[in-house]
């Protein structure tokens, strides 16, 4: 693209001045060429060095993602400055180039609305800092660790090791949940116990389960909240605090321990019950089981059935 613009600029300038194209080459003297070459040889490594230094310094002083973006901005700005300087040194007039670039810029502007929006959203994300690199965040259905916060997008590594790229604009518009922002988290376990159980006793058992678990924190203290009367159970919410690193492990161990402890203490965890009534007037009705007397299938083919008068039995058919 740059070469095309350059060629276009050269042609425009040559036609405007009435100078043959071959003569243009003579304008670029050896001295200017050497200076341009030195600028490239020194300038490119310098741009790399400065951008890296800015990136490291910003990452250390402010945040890693700010460092990434600051480094990239310095890098591109440095390269653009170097390119303009080299072209000026070679004697090219930048006015026609900028004119052409302006036309192209309008076209590009229309085409890159989304990109610009993402860049601006990225600046907001950096300023607001809702998360940093290595935080565990949830955006819509995507849960993962932040790999990088770039000018255009945020990259996540999901817990099952998938790579997710979320445009910055989407992030700014979405609800972002940062699961690792604070050092401690509460694990809420929803527990249902049978109606016959004493909630006070169940509460004491749950507190003891929390006290016995090495990952549960003594403070903030665990909580048990009576959530309400369910269809088949008394619904309790058992909240236990732990460090963010232990949250996943506690989720497994605590629920296993609640189940084991309830089993040991004889606390019933009910499954949904349905009791059907046939009305208050309905009495129990007697059932008689009629057993067929089966003749010995002496000459018949297997599977044939004979209608034989049945014999009444009043028991549960234990003689079958």
Partner 1 sequence: MKMTLKGWGELALDPGQQTSRTFGALSLELRREANEVWVRGSYRGVAPVDDDWIRWSLHGDDRLAVRPSRPDRLVVVSPERPFFLPPRGRARVFVRIPLFVRLTRVDDHRIDDTRLDDHQEGTVLEEFPSIVLSDTWWGTFTEGELAYWVGTTARRTVTEDVIEPHFAICPFDLVNESAQALPVERFAVRVAALTLFGRDKAVWTDEVLVRYHGPHETSSIQYTGGPPPEAGDVERIADPREQASKALHGRTFSRLLNLSSGW
Binding footprint of partner 1 on the chain (CB under 8 A) = 182-184, 211, 214-221, 223, 225, 239, 241, 243
Using CA atoms, how far apart are residues 110 and 94, in angstroms rounded to an integer?
Answer: 24
Nearer to partner 1, 121 or 250 (CB): 250
CB of 56 or CB of 186, closer to partner 1? 186
Q: Which residues pair with 234 in a beta bridge?
A: 193, 229
Distance CA 227, CA 208 (A): 20
Query: 102, 96, 94: which is closest to 15 by C-alpha?
Result: 96
CB 220, min distance to partner 1, A: 4
Burial class (CB in 10 A: 0-12, 13-18, 19+), 252: exposed
Least gap, CB of 72 to partner 1 (angstroms) = 32
Question: Cα 118 vs. chain centroid, distance in angstroms?
Answer: 18
With respect to partner 1, which residue has the nearer C-beta, 200 or 218?
A: 218
Q: In what order do the strands lie in the sheet with 223-229?
A: 184-193, 234-243, 223-229
Query: In the complex, what is the shortest distance from the CB of residue 113 to partner 1, in angstroms, rounded to a whole number?
Result: 38
**Measured distance CA(51)–CA(53) in Å, rounded:** 5
Which residue, 86 or 206, has its beta carbon nearer to partner 1? 206
| Residue 221 or 265 having the CB closest to partner 1 | 221
Strands of 142-149's sheet in order across: 163-167, 153-158, 142-149, 136-139, 176-178
C-beta of 151 vs 242, nearer to partner 1: 242
Tell me the C-alpha to C-alpha distance, in Å, between residue 209 and each of 48, 74, 202, 240, 254.
Answer: 58, 56, 11, 10, 8
Report the nearest approach of partner 1 to the CB of residue 260 (Å).
15
CB of 235 to partner 1, least distance (A): 16
Rounded to a whole number of angstroms, the minimum distance from the CB of residue 246 to partner 1 is: 9
């Amino acid at each position: 693209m740059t070469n095309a613009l350059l060629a276009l600029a050269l042609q425009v300038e040559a036609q405007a001045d009435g100078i043959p194209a071959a003569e243009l080459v003579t304008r670029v003297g050896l001295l200017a060429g050497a200076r341009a070459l030195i600028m490239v040889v020194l300038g490119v490594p310098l741009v790399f060095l400065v951008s890296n230094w800015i990136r490291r310094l910003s990452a250390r002083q402010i945040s890693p993602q700010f460092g990434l973006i600051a480094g990239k901005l310095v890098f591109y700005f440095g390269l653009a400055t170097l390119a303009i300087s080299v072209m000026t040194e070679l004697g090219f007039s930048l006015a026609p180039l900028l004119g052409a670039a302006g036309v192209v810029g309008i076209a590009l502007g229309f085409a890159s609305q989304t990109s610009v929006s993402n860049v601006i959203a990225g600046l907001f994300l950096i300023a607001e800092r809702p998360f940093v690199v290595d935080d565990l965040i949830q955006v819509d259905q995507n849960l993962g660790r932040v790999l990088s916060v770039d000018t255009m997008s945020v990259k996540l590594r999901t817990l099952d090791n998938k790579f997710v790229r979320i445009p910055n604009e989407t992030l700014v518009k979405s609800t972002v949940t940062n699961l690792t922002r604070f050092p401690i988290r509460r694990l809420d376990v929803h527990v249902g116990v049978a109606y016959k159980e004493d909630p006070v006793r169940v509460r004491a058992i749950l507190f003891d389960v929390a006290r016995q678990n090495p990952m549960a924190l003594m403070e903030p203290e665990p909580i048990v909240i009576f959530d309400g009367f369910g269809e088949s159970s008394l619904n309790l919410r058992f909240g236990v605090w732990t460090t963010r690193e232990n949250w996943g492990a506690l989720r497994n161990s605590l629920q296993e321990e609640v189940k084991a402890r309830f089993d040991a203490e004889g606390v019933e965890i009910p499954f949904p019950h349905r009791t059907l009534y046939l009305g208050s007037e309905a009495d129990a009705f007697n059932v008689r089981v009629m057993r067929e007397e089966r003749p010995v299938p002496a000459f018949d083919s297997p599977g044939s059935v004979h209608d034989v008068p049945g014999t009444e039995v009043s028991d549960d058919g234990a003689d079958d």
